[in-house]
């Protein structure tokens, strides 16, 4: 393979942006746009007008078997991600799926099982993994520079969305249309970064408000307490109903604490570990000597979506490891589902022994009562790109 012929399913906000990056702006060396697909006549007309020379399909199955593509990028409503991914593998294609991997873990486990049966490359559009700030924080944690993890607190309330946003589509902010609120729409990247940097928590106890600030049926305010395998604890707070909002990540360990805010990393670094200080100190009120250091990291956000596409291309052409393997999409989704499940059942939830079937049953109860009045599969708006 000299070039990767990419097909795109879904020509909404993100799908059309990927088309422009690949075909019109040629930002992804080694990748070309082989074909596109959308069930909407309006979006197909857009493609025919704006993507000259690119074949346009109405049905994904027809594009999959056309022989015009080597890989497919799936940018459609959340619920459809796993099904189209599985069909892509069955058609002998490499697959890149937009976030989130799916709405519920049961379907994503099936998707990952299908991926295991194929030798095709499977990636997910976790573009925040290209951000040099989070890459540096991950390195500081996983290299041991911060020492043993003690606590993490992430406040992500800068996702403000007014009622007009929730009213902008019949599918939006509904159980049937999106499968959740801020957790499934705005927060997938943050939840992925949380586990990518620290590893998955073992248990979660959450408190969610559904329609607290808006006339919606899904969650718009979340506080989740979590514990990790080593005994460390964490709190994750997010909302679409606060203005101005905050995005502050604080990670504490034996060697101090790391604070990330306004794209700046500040490391309050202990000269010796707190545990060693505690062992040798004899002064009743002494604390470890600590230095405040700004950790250098590029603040441009990285290459984002284009960076993930470049990495995917290099994986296909040259065997380069993926920055965001598709199989890892389940980790952040598991945290999201566990937060919902804990709130629904008013209980502490184990992620290691998560009840995927019962979660699905409870979700379906909410879907059956959902206010969506028409088939969201016919929507022309790309849910994965609207946040």
CATH of the domain at 119: 3.40.50.720
Residues 115, 167 share a domain: no
Average pLDDT over residues 237-252: 98
The pLDDT, as a whole number, for residue 171 is 84
Residues 317, 219 share a domain: no
Whether residue 268 lies inside any domain: the answer is yes
Place of tokens 């607290």: 212
Average pLDDT over residues 205-231: 98
Average pLDDT over residues 37-48: 97
Residues 159, 259 share a domain: yes
pLDDT tens digits, one per residue of 125-137: 999 999 999 999 9
Whether residue 84 lies inside any domain: the answer is yes
Name the nearest CA neighbour of 306 among 18, 12, 105. Answer: 18
Whether residue 106 lies inside any domain: the answer is yes
pTM: 0.94
CATH number at 145 reads 3.30.360.10
The pLDDT, as a whole number, for residue 372 is 59
The pLDDT, as a whole number, for residue 41 is 97
Name the nearest CA neighbour of 195 among 240, 154, 223. Answer: 154
Whether residue 88 lies inside any domain: the answer is yes
Residues 217, 352 share a domain: yes
Residues 155, 111 share a domain: no
Name the nearest CA neighbour of 237 among 161, 333, 155. Answer: 155
DSSP string, 299-338: -S--SHHHHHHHHHHHHHHH-PPPSSBGGGHHHHHHHHHH
Whether pLDDT at 379 is above 80: no
Whether residue 368 lies inside any domain: the answer is no
pLDDT tens digits, one per residue of 59-86: 999 999 999 999 999 999 999 999 999 9
What confidence category does residue 170 fall into, taking pLDDT thresholds of 50, 70 and 90?
confident
Residues 279, 155 share a domain: yes
Whether pLDDT at 216 is above 50: yes
Residue range(s) defining the domain that contains residue 228: 129-298+331-360
Distance of CA 363 to the CA centre of its chain: 20
Place of tokens 């040629």: 26
pLDDT tens digits, one per residue of 317-326: 999 999 999 9
Residues 185, 102 share a domain: no
Burial class (CB in 10 A: 0-12, 13-18, 19+), 321: exposed
Distance (Å, whole) CA 387 – CA 101: 15
Residues 66, 143 share a domain: no
Residues 107, 224 share a domain: no
Total domains in the fold of the chain: 2
Residues 120, 265 share a domain: no
């Amino acid at each position: 393979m000299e070039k990767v012929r990419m097909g795109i399913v879904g020509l909404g906000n993100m799908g059309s942006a990927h088309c422009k990056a690949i075909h019109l702006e040629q930002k992804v060396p080694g990748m070309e746009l082989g074909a596109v697909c959308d069930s909407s006549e309006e979006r197909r007309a857009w493609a025919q007008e704006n993507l000259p020379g690119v074949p346009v399909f109405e049905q994904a199955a027809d594009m999959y078997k056309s022989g015009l593509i080597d890989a497919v990028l799936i940018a459609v409503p959340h619920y459809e991600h796993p099904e189209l991914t599985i069909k892509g593998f069955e058609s002998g294609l490499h697959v890149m799926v937009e976030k989130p991997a799916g709405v519920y873990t049961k379907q994503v486990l099936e998707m990952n099982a299908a991926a295991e049966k194929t030798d095709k490359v499977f990636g997910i559009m976790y573009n925040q993994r290209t951000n040099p700030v989070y890459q540096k924080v991950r390195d500081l944690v996983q290299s041991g520079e911060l020492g043993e993890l003690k606590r993490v607190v992430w406040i992500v309330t800068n996702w403000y969305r007014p009622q007009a946003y929730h009213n902008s589509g019949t599918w939006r902010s509904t159980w049937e249309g999106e499968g959740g609120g801020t957790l499934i729409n705005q927060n997938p990247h943050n939840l992925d970064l949380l586990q990518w940097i620290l590893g998955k928590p073992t248990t979660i106890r959450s408190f969610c408000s559904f329609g607290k600030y808006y006339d919606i049926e899904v969650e718009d305010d979340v506080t989740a307490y979590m514990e990790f395998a080593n005994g460390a604890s964490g709190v994750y707070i997010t909302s679409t109903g606060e203005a101005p909002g905050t995005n502050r990540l604080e990670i504490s360990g034996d060697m101090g604490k790391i604070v990330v805010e306004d794209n700046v990393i500040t490391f309050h670094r202990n000269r010796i570990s707190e545990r060693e200080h505690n062992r040798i100190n004899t002064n009743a009120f002494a604390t470890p000597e600590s230095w405040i250091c700004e950790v250098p990291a590029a603040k441009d956000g990285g290459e984002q979506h284009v960076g993930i596409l470049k990495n995917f291309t290099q994986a296909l052409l040259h065997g380069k490891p993926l920055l965001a393997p598709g199989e890892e999409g389940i980790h952040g989704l598991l945290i999201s589902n566990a937060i919902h499940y804990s709130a629904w059942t008013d209980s502490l939830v184990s992620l290691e022994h998560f009840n995927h079937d019962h979660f699905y049953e409870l979700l379906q109860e909410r879907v059956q009562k959902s206010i969506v009045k028409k088939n969201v599969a016919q929507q022309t708006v790309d849910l994965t790109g609207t946040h």
